[in-house]
Structure 1
Amino acid sequence: MKLFDVYPLFDVNIVKGEGCRVWDDRGQEYLDLYGGHAVISIGHCHPHYINKVGEQMGRLGFYSNSVINKLQAELAGRLGRISGYDDYQLFLINSGAEANENALKLASFSNGRTRILSAEKAFHGRTSLAVEATANPNIIAPVNANGHVTYLPLNDLAAWEAELQKGDVCACIIECIQGVGGIKLATEEFAQGLQAACRRNGTVLICDEIQCGYGRSGKFFAHQWLGIRPDIITVAKGIANGFPVGAVLISPEFTPKYGQLGTTFGGNHLACAAALAVLDVMESSDLVENARHTGEYLMTRLKDLQQSQPHITDVRGRGLMIGIELDIPQKPIRERLVYEQHVFTGCTGTNLLRLLPPLCFTEDMADEFIEKLTNVL
């Protein structure tokens, strides 16, 4: 059997990581500004994380959700406190797509409606309704194209209000910083107006914080920059630093019922231990503030570089979620960064480099990256 070939790959075999650096099987070191697609939040192979996950594995790795798991309750309490959502409820699953599936399902259960509003260039996952809410026809199979979703321009409040006034919208789902969509930021005016319109029309507001949340923006959630409080929040990626964990944070206005949602692996003992270790490190090392401070420093350095490098047409983002727009294709730039400068970055579209480093990224590392990017440009 061979692998199902759906991923274009760099010819690099990464075998080791530490902090914001990784090494390949030849011993070559790389600076990591990709974080495995925003998954590595506290840094590769953090010793506290390794210890906590190892200790839990030595006790119990998994048992089903048919018994009490006190680690789930501990995680809910800790996450509520650190995020500012003490009064919300937590449902644990395995991935971001699952988080959005369950969020949309809950919304439909609550108001009996079936239509979803999603933003143009949105990305919400690759399963059933999550992929239908993703504005990319190339990854929506015919079986997923069920006419549930209307796509609207991000920040065009009038367009969203006009659809909401029809009275049939189940949920609005937005990324307050679009990742795959090109590091496009929702505005405060749009977000607050959308929340008010959802409330007027009995529609559930869902913030997809899977990539932009969990401290990456310099606040715990990106929507907290915008002064809103959504009905449902979805998280994954950085929640457990590489262990597959996703979660739905649910307003107290939603009443759970037995059998309404379910999962086999979600919230297992090992997953909870990994997620708790991440919160330990985020708090002890003040990583949310570091993301804000270091992100501002990196953005300033990039904007300064833009003045001398005409190929950079825009720099945008928040915290350690930054887009560098180019007037040339990003692919050869990214390849030279990997093979010549030994730096990993993300990308999106034809012309955008996407920076998603671990939240322990430092100013010295930012300076190192600027030097290496300058060499390539």
Structure 2
Amino acid sequence: MKTFDVYPLYNVNIVKGKGCKVWDENGQEYLDLYGGHAVISIGHCHPHYVSMLTRQLNNLGFYSNSVINKLQVELAERLGKVSGYDDYQLFLINSGAEANENALKLASFQNGRKRVLAIDKSFHGRTSLAVEVTDNPKIVAPINANNHVTFLPINDLSAWEKELAKGDVCACILECIQGVGGCNVVDAEFAQGLAAACKKYGTVLICDEIQCGYGRSGRFFAHQWLGIRPDLITVAKGIGNGFPMAGVLISPEFKPVYGRLGTTFGGNHLACTAALAVLDVIEKEHLVENADVVGSYLISELKKMQAKEQHIKDVRGRGLMVGVEMDIPQSEVRKKLIYDQHCFTGGAGTNVLRILPPLILTKSDVDDFLYRLHKVFATFPAEPESC
């Protein structure tokens, strides 16, 4: 049997990681500004993380959610405190797609509606409802195309208010910094106006913080830059630093009903241990603050490079979630970064380089990356200046 061929793969086999570095099977070191797609929050193989998971595995790897799991209780209390949502409730599952599925399901149970508003170029997952609210027809199968979703421009409040006024919108779902969409940022005026309109028309506001959350933006959640408090918040990726885990933070306005939600593996003992270890490190090493400081430095230095480098057309994002729009294909830049400069980054669309490093990134790492990126740009011919 062969694996199902779903991704074009780089010809690199990564076998070891430490901090912001990874190594392939030949011992070649790489600077990691991709973090396994924003998953590695506290760095590869952090000793505290490894120690806690090893200890838990020696005690108990798994038991079902039909019995008490005090690790879930501890995680909910810790996460509520550090995020500023201690009055919310936590439902634990395994992936970002599951988180968004359950958030949309909760919203529909709450108001009895079916229609959803989402941002153009949004990405919320690859399953059922999650893929239906993803603005990419290529990955939406006919069975998923149920016409529940209206896609609208980012930051165009009047367009969203017009749809909400029809009175049939179940939920609005937002990535406050778009991932696959290219690191486009929701602005505060739009977010606050939308939150007020959702309240007025009885619509649930969902913030998808799966990629932009968990400290990456320089606040615990990206929406906290915008002055809003959504009804539902979805998290995954950085919550477990590589251990599959996700969650939905649920407003106290939602009352749990036995049987509506459920999960076999969600919130298992190893997953909760991983998440608690991540919170330990985030707090002890001040990683949210670090993402803000180092991310601001990264964006500032990239904008300085933009002033000199013809290939950079725009720099956007916040914290350690940054998009560099170029006049050359991101796929070609990424290949040269990996094979020639030994540096991992992400991509979005055709021309956006997406930077998603571990939250432990330093200014020295930024300088190292910029040096490598400059060397890659030097291999592409400059466009002749127009007269």
1:224 matches 2:224: yes
3-state SS, counterpart of residue 361 of structure 1: coil
- Indicate the residue corresponding to 1:368 in structure 2: 368
- Indicate the residue corresponding to 1:176 in structure 2: 176
3-state SS, counterpart of residue 270 of structure 2: helix
3-state SS, counterpart of residue 177 of structure 1: coil
Question: What per-residue deviation string (whole Å, max 9, x for no partner) do you get for residues 78-113 of structure 1?
Answer: 000000000000000000000000000000000000
Distance, in Å, in 2 between the alignment partners of 1:107 and 1:333 is: 41
The correspondence of residues 24-63 of structure 1 with structure 2, limited to 5 A, is 24-63=24-63
Q: Amino acid of the residue matched to residue 229 of structure 1?
A: R
How far residue 333 of structure 1 moved from its aligned partner, in angstroms, is 1.1
- Indicate the residue corresponding to 2:110 in structure 1: 110
- Indicate the residue corresponding to 1:11 in structure 2: 11
Question: What per-residue deviation string (whole Å, max 9, x for no partner) do you get for residues 250-282 of structure 1?
Answer: 000000011110000000001000000000000
Distance, in Å, in 2 between the alignment partners of 1:111 and 1:349 is: 35
3-state SS, counterpart of residue 185 of structure 1: coil
- Indicate the residue corresponding to 2:285 in structure 1: 285
Distance, in Å, in 1 between the alignment partners of 2:325 and 2:147 is: 33
Distance, in Å, in 1 between the alignment partners of 2:7 and 2:358 is: 23
3-state SS, counterpart of residue 172 of structure 2: strand
- Indicate the residue corresponding to 1:206 in structure 2: 206
Q: Amino acid of the residue matched to residue 367 of structure 1?
A: D
- Indicate the residue corresponding to 1:82 in structure 2: 82
1:150 matches 2:150: yes
CA-atom RMSD in angstroms: 0.4
How far residue 332 of structure 1 moved from its aligned partner, in angstroms, is 1.3
How far residue 328 of structure 1 moved from its aligned partner, in angstroms, is 1.1
How far residue 137 of structure 1 moved from its aligned partner, in angstroms, is 0.3
3-state SS, counterpart of residue 371 of structure 2: helix
Distance, in Å, in 1 between the alignment partners of 2:229 and 2:259 is: 27
- Indicate the residue corresponding to 1:98 in structure 2: 98
The correspondence of residues 242-321 of structure 1 with structure 2, limited to 5 A, is 242-321=242-321
How far residue 308 of structure 1 moved from its aligned partner, in angstroms, is 1.2
Q: After the TM superposition, which of the residue ranges 328-337 and 358-367 deviates more from structure 2?
A: 328-337
Q: Amino acid of the residue matched to residue 310 of structure 2?
A: P
Distance, in Å, in 2 between the alignment partners of 1:70 and 1:366 is: 40
Distance, in Å, in 1 between the alignment partners of 2:318 and 2:273 is: 29
How far residue 329 of structure 1 moved from its aligned partner, in angstroms, is 1.1
Distance, in Å, in 1 between the alignment partners of 2:333 and 2:116 is: 37
Distance, in Å, in 2 between the alignment partners of 1:261 and 1:376 is: 49
Q: Amino acid of the residue matched to residue 132 of structure 1?
A: E
Q: Name stretches of at least 5 consecutive residues in structure 2 with no aligned partner.
A: 378-387
- Indicate the residue corresponding to 2:241 in structure 1: 241
- Indicate the residue corresponding to 1:164 in structure 2: 164
- Indicate the residue corresponding to 1:352 in structure 2: 352
3-state SS, counterpart of residue 178 of structure 1: coil
3-state SS, counterpart of residue 328 of structure 1: coil
Distance, in Å, in 2 between the alignment partners of 1:181 and 1:333 is: 18
| Identity level (%) | 72
TM-score, with length taken from structure 1: 1.00
Question: What per-residue deviation string (whole Å, max 9, x for no partner) do you get for residues 46-81 of structure 1?
Answer: 000000001000000100000000000000000000
Question: Runs of 4+ in structure 1 displaced over 2 angstroms?
Answer: none
3-state SS, counterpart of residue 182 of structure 1: coil
How far residue 287 of structure 1 moved from its aligned partner, in angstroms, is 0.1
Distance, in Å, in 2 between the alignment partners of 1:149 and 1:308 is: 42
Q: Amino acid of the residue matched to residue 18 of structure 2?
A: E
Distance, in Å, in 2 between the alignment partners of 1:334 and 1:147 is: 36
Q: After the TM superposition, which of the residue ranges 245-254 and 299-308 deviates more from structure 2?
A: 299-308
1:342 matches 2:355: no
Q: After the TM superposition, which of the residue ranges 297-306 and 240-249 deviates more from structure 2?
A: 297-306
Question: What per-residue deviation string (whole Å, max 9, x for no partner) do you get for residues 112-160 of structure 1?
Answer: 0010111110000000000000010000000000011111111110000
3-state SS, counterpart of residue 333 of structure 2: helix
3-state SS, counterpart of residue 74 of structure 2: helix
- Indicate the residue corresponding to 1:215 in structure 2: 215
Aligned residues: 377
Distance, in Å, in 2 between the alignment partners of 1:304 and 1:370 is: 11
TM-score, with length taken from structure 2: 0.97
Distance, in Å, in 2 between the alignment partners of 1:240 and 1:332 is: 31
Q: Amino acid of the residue matched to residue 290 of structure 1?
A: N
- Indicate the residue corresponding to 1:327 in structure 2: 327
Distance, in Å, in 1 between the alignment partners of 2:341 and 2:305 is: 17
Q: Name stretches of at least 5 consecutive residues in structure 1 with no aligned partner.
A: none
Q: Amino acid of the residue matched to residue 350 of structure 1?
A: T
Question: What per-residue deviation string (whole Å, max 9, x for no partner) do you get for residues 16-56 of structure 1?
Answer: 00000000000000000000000000000000000000100
Q: After the TM superposition, which of the residue ranges 183-192 and 324-333 deviates more from structure 2?
A: 324-333
